[in-house]
Amino acid sequence: MAFEGLLEDPVIQKYLHELVGPTGMPVAAAPPDGEVTDEELAQELNLELNDVRRALFILYENDLASYRRLRDEDSGWLTYLWTFEYDQIPENLEEEMHRLLEALDEREEYERMHEFYLCEICSIRFEFGEAMDFGFECPECGSPLEAMENEQLIEAMNGRIEALAEELHVER
């Protein structure tokens, strides 16, 4: 199997699992060499045809599978022959990491730029403006809202941002 070494990587296994879910994982984890039909995969893996098709479509949407159509001359039926293309996985993962870094940067800035208040009974967090609108009382239970320190959260985010930036070789 051409993808064997790639599929042994736990990060890649997790990535595929996140894409196709537990029902699609047998399809994603067992890509055959060459072309295969969805019916052949369903029979070989003992899965429902709809589950196989769902997983194949997700892989296709993420540029990890392609297909070509063949029309049966006699019946007019279309047959889809699927090919797995997992050589895109490292690039896809890197793109995901860049999106995560961008999202963490935005969230860290949001946390740093806002003041928060917390209802310790309901565990609901409010921005300063919301807390002020509610008279610094929880709208759910009426308890007083307490000023909330988020420095630990910001520090944890900064640590993750630095680690991701270093892994992606992005200057900060």
Query: What tokens does 140 get?
Result: 């759910």
C-beta separation of 157 from 107 below 8 A: yes
Average pLDDT over residues 24-38: 89
Yes or no: domain 4-84 corresponds to CATH 1.10.10.10 = yes
pTM: 0.65
Domain ranges of the chain: 4-84, 91-167
pLDDT tens-digit readout, 73-96: 888 899 999 999 888 888 888 998
Q: In what order do the strands lie in the sheet with 78-84?
A: 36-37, 78-84, 65-71
C-beta separation of 98 from 112 below 8 A: no
Question: Which residues, in sequence order, are CB contacts of 130 under 8 Å at separation 6+?
Answer: 117
